[in-house]
Amino acid sequence: MNLLIYFLMGIKLTSYMRIHSSLGHLELLVVQCIKDCVPFMLFFFTWNYMFARFFAILGIDSETDEFSGLFVLGRYFMGVYENSLGNISTPNYTIWNPAEPENKNFFNRIILVIIWVIWFMNQWFIFMILLNFVIALIS
């Protein structure tokens, strides 16, 4: 409840900035930026969710200590979200480990190639394309 009160108080204080002309212009720019970023964030989180589902389907290991309190898809989503913001980590595919003798077949090699192609698509599309798009959108 206190969080909601402080959030509403911040919004009200921001609206009082309109009294001074230069602060009023800054307040209008912040509001316009938030309005412009909402559709982008929906698109951004949709793509993050899609890549998180890809990694979950392919069996990439999401057992990290950082997100241990989250449910399984939440851990995948947070991993993809970190990658999309530039904290790049490579996929961990322990169930497809090619060093084990029972995993040295053609199907496992194909899966490993698919994992790396999807990981590269995630880096290229979300990190490079979408974040450059949001920079152009804001400026």
Residue 117 has a pLDDT of 92
Mean pLDDT to the nearest integer, 46-51 = 92
pLDDT at 31 exceeding the cut of 90: no
Q: Per the domain annotation, does 91 fall within a domain? A: yes
Q: Per the domain annotation, does 120 fall within a domain? A: yes
pTM for the predicted model, two decimal places: 0.75
Q: Per the domain annotation, does 29 fall within a domain? A: no
pLDDT in tens, 107-128: 888 888 898 999 999 888 887 8
Q: Per the domain annotation, does 32 fall within a domain? A: no
Q: Per the domain annotation, does 5 fall within a domain? A: no
Residues 119 and 91 sit within 8 Å (Cβ to Cβ): yes
Q: Per the domain annotation, does 21 fall within a domain? A: no
In terms of residue numbers, what domain contains 118?
37-138
Q: Per the domain annotation, does 122 fall within a domain? A: yes
Residues 125 and 51: their CA atoms lie apart, in Å, by 11
pLDDT in tens, 66-106: 777 888 888 889 888 888 888 888 888 777 777 776 667 78
List the beta strands (DSSP E) in 12-137.
none
Q: Per the domain annotation, does 98 fall within a domain? A: yes
pLDDT at 53 exceeding the cut of 70: yes
Give how many domains the chain has, as a whole number. Answer: 1
Q: Mean pLDDT for the chain?
A: 83
